[in-house]
Structure 1
Amino acid sequence: MKKINIIIAIFASMFFWGCSNGDHQENGMLENIKKRGVLKVGVFSDKPPFGYVNEQGEFDGFDVYISKKIAKDLLGEKGKVEFIPVEAAARVEFLKSNKVDLIMANFTKTKEREAVVDFAKPYMKVSLGVVSKEGKIKDISQLKGQKLIVDKGTTADFYFTKNHPEIELLKYDQNTEAFLALKSHRGVALAHDNTLLFAWARLNTPFMVGIDVLGDEEVIAPAIKKGNKDFLDWLDQEIDKLTKDGFMQEAYDVTLKPMYGVDIKSESVIFEK
């Protein structure tokens, strides 16, 4: 009987240890960030106007602008943020391996991604688009037998792999590589988020967005490692506040409007208060 009690005690302590060092640790992420005093955010370094390195060598763009505000509201100063460059295909892994606390790298919320990370409330709307020289590609049927450029691990990659296996995809790790491939005529067109393509095409004539909307409208949201309910709840409240008090509109006006001009309406890109 004594041996049985000892065994039960051992299993009980193992169960308690597992809970206290697993779920408890995960759910204490918000407090851990506050203690550290720095918010680690994964952003793009080559995707203007959302995340890029400007001429001063500093991270800039829509996602960066919002991230600084999140850091200020969480830690008291917008400078208490460390930006870590990520590539599209590595965003999930950066969260899983604790390299970042938060992904603000134009991350589209999908069912597949929801299975491996937690998304907070969305702050942006997006659809796929296709850009080509002079906008000649206006229909998916024109891509059959042609080479289409995409970034690895993006919704464009997933969409065409699943729905159009007849189209040959040229996949690149970085945005700069993908757009250079388009300019070098390695592919007849490039598929990406339409919000990015609208801005890029304005600066890169004679390229035009021939297909404005492809597939369903989706949303972009902050993403964190699964299981951190305290941090997720805080982010949900933060995104609500930033939307309702007009900060998201401010971020749009400062970072996106100069790139989009009057052709794109803010309500088609961000959520209104």
Structure 2
Amino acid sequence: MLRRRISKAGVVLALALACGTSAHAESSLDAVRARGLIRVGVKTDAPPFGFIDARGHPVGFEVDLARFFARVLFDDEGRARLVPVTTSTRFAELQAGRVDLLLATVTATEQRRTVAELSDPYFTSGSLILVARDSRLGTLGEAAGRKVAVVKGSVQEADVAELQPRAILITVGSLAAGAHAVRSGQADAFLYDDVAVLALARRDPALRVTGAPIRPRPYVAAARKEDTGLIRWVNGWLAKMRRDGTYRG
């Protein structure tokens, strides 16, 4: 996913991006450097972005990205402290100062821009519906009176309320809980990010995906409000990674 290469020009870019920002932003990057590690909130239940492998280690695209940023800062990917977060806890962890940055399938929305600084996009994801293999449900429009599960705090929670207000909304705590709700018959459908839902359906023959992607939105990194220096630094590296082929988003 991410080729491990950092050019001399890239280091110069990082230094330039760290300069010329507000005092608040400079102090944030300075604090990370002084601490000797960057604390990144990542998912552990959202393959392929963040999950636990067979050996019990965190892996995934966003985990790789966190380690890449640590290599840029400290020439050591082990200086990324990976803090497990969930959809419902990630912004609380950020606001409490327990993480410096979120790389946790954060979808960019206007509401989230009011509580955090958001980076440029690094991925785009819509929502898909997961149903039981023998279900006749085809679209969200057909879900009036049906039980639709969503992860608490996700964009899908608001989407269902807006797009199908006659659905019976059920909130769950995780991706796995949403799949279980459908599998056990507690919910008629589960609405979540497309890549994660497709991965669930591939692994479980009792489940399938139906309908077209709903409301594609970008995934972004998030930092505390007014921490513009850190986000500018992230944006600079995302742009450089695209230019030099380290990552093609």
Q: Normalized against structure 1, the TM-score is what?
A: 0.79
Hey, what does 2:63 align to over in structure 1? 64
Please give the per-residue CA displacement for 1:19-40, whole angstroms capped at 9, x wherever unaligned.
xxxx734541011101111110
- Are 2:183 and 1:183 aligned? yes
Identify the residue that residue 20 of structure 1 maps to in structure 2: none
Q: Which runs of 5+ in 1 are unaligned?
A: 1-22, 250-270
- Retained in 2: the 8 A contact 1:131–1:211? no
Higher helix content, 1 or 2: 1
Note the C-alpha offset of 1:162.
2.8
The answer to whether 1:119 aligns with 2:118 is yes
1:153 to 2:153 alignment? yes
Contact 2:25 2:227 in 1 (8 A): yes
- Deviation of 1:243 (Å): 2.0
| Structure with the larger strand share | 2
For 1:176 and 1:200, locate their aligned partners in 2 and report how far apart those are by CA, in whole Å: 9
* Whole-Å separation in 2 of the counterparts to 1:204 and 1:245: 38
Residue in structure 1 matched with residue 194 of structure 2 by the alignment: 194
1:183-211 CA distance string (max 9 Å, x none): 11111111001121122211111322102
Aligned-pair RMSD on alpha carbons?
A: 1.5
Question: Whole-Å Cα distance in 2 between the matches of residues 137 and 65 of structure 1?
Answer: 37
Residue in structure 2 matched with residue 259 of structure 1 by the alignment: none
Match for residue 230 of structure 1? 229
Asked if structure 1 preserves the Cα contact closer than 8 Å seen for 2:124 and 2:216, the reply is: yes
Residue type at the aligned position of 2:96: S
2:169 is aligned with 1:143: no
**Alpha-carbon separation, structure 1, partners of 2:124 and 2:49:** 13
Q: Are residues 1:95 and 2:80 paired?
A: no
Deviations 1:29-72 (A, max 9, x none): 01110111111010111112211111211111111111111111
- Identity level (%): 23
Q: Say how many residue pairs are matched.
A: 227
Structure 1 segments, 4+ long, off by >6 Å, are none
CA distance in 2 between counterparts of 1:181 and 1:139 reads 18
Aligned-partner residue type, residue 79 of structure 1: G
Opposite residue 40 of structure 1, the aligned amino acid is: R
